Amino acid sequence: MNKRIILPNIFTGINLFFGFFAILFIMEGKLLIGAWFILLCFLMDGMDGVAARMTKGYSLFGANFDSIADIVSFGIAPAMLMFFVSKSIFRSDIIAGIVPYIFALCGALRLARFNTHLINLAVKHDFIGLPIPIAAVLMSSFFIFFRKIEINSTVLILFHFLGLVTALLMVSKITFLNFNSVMKNIYQNKVLFIISLCTVVTAMIIPHFIFFPVFFIYLNWDIILHIAAIHRNIKVENTNS
């Protein structure tokens, strides 16, 4: 095995480790701990990408291993979180499992589509469809956010609505910016850099209140850009016709 791919795959293995234990904690009824473990998975998923760029340890094995870990950490784990939350609303486990299953299914389809379009592992393009790690973080951070405030019937309905929306966005054709593009824009804009720095500091102080708003803004920003692009294309077509 190429030694350069070892470090990225170690982080992928840790991602899978946290995902596995997130599921165990959720099954034991420790939903908040499980939700935090999903966020740890996201951190490790980011670290394996950083390690791959630093060591130039890109490989087809690593890409497939990463997808297998992701379906556990960002597909099954958040789906289990949604299911156990659903059980407090629905008496039937089958009904409670419908939206979580759709989420896991769309996550698997999203990863399969991503893998079939892999060409150059070293080149990062914008994403077609919401990335499954972002969808998982949205679900877990939503639960953490409102767990600190209050979880009532309205919040539970919104939680499941968000799960369904993120599931559909994963298999959509909407373009979402990759984080390299986001970071490049932040570094080039002083205002964005200061805002981002303040966000990081705030996340260290009150992490339970910061993650969901940040990723929710990311989600809506890309959707707004997509709608704006459609509007521009329609105007161009009307002008040319």
* Residue 88 is assigned to a structural domain of this protein: yes
Extended beta strands in 25-64, E state: none
- 123 found inside a domain: yes
- The CATH number that applies at residue 76 is 1.20.120.1760
Distances (CA, A) of 65 to 15, 26, 40, 53, 166: 11, 24, 18, 16, 23
pLDDT category at 99 given cuts 50, 70, 90 is: very high
Please tell me the predicted confidence (pLDDT) of residue 235.
72
| Lookup result for tokens 């692009």 | 229
| Identity of the highest mean pLDDT range in 5-14, 43-52, 150-159, 181-190 | 5-14
DSSP conformation class of 91: S
Q: Nearest 5°: CA angle at 198, between 194 and 199?
A: 115
Q: Which domain holds residue 172?
A: 3-176
Whether 215 maps to a domain, the answer reads no
Q: How many folded domains does the chain comprise?
A: 1
Is residue 49 included in any domain, yes or no?
yes
Residue 214 pLDDT: 86
Cβ–Cβ < 8 Å for 168, 106: yes
Nearest to 141 by CA among 222, 59, 216: 216
Q: Looking at the domain assignment, is residue 146 inside a domain?
A: yes
Residue 233 located in a structural domain: no
- As a whole-number percent, the residues of the chain with pLDDT over 90 amount to 44
Q: Which of the two residues, 205 and 91, has the higher pLDDT score? A: 91
Please give the pLDDT value at position 12.
Answer: 93
| Position 205 in a domain | no
Residue 46 has pLDDT above 90, yes or no: no
Q: What is the 3-state secondary structure (H, E, C) of 169-212?
A: HHCCCCEECCHHHHHHHHHHCHHHHHHHHHHHHHHHHCHHHHHH
Predicted confidence band of residue 189 (pLDDT cuts 50, 70, 90): low
Tell me if 200 is assigned to some domain: no
CA dist 64 and 237 (Å) reads: 41
* Residue 187 CA to its chain's centroid (Å): 23
Provide mean pLDDT across the span 39-67. 85
- Given the structure tokens 């958040």, which residue do they identify? 78
Write the CB contacts of 81 (distance below 8 Å, at least 6 apart in sequence): 22, 26, 31, 34, 35, 38, 139, 140, 143
Q: What are the two backbone dihedrals, phi and then psi, of residue 110, each rounded to the nearest 5 degrees?
A: -60, -45
Average pLDDT over residues 91-112: 93
* Residues 75 and 104 sit within 8 Å (Cβ to Cβ): yes
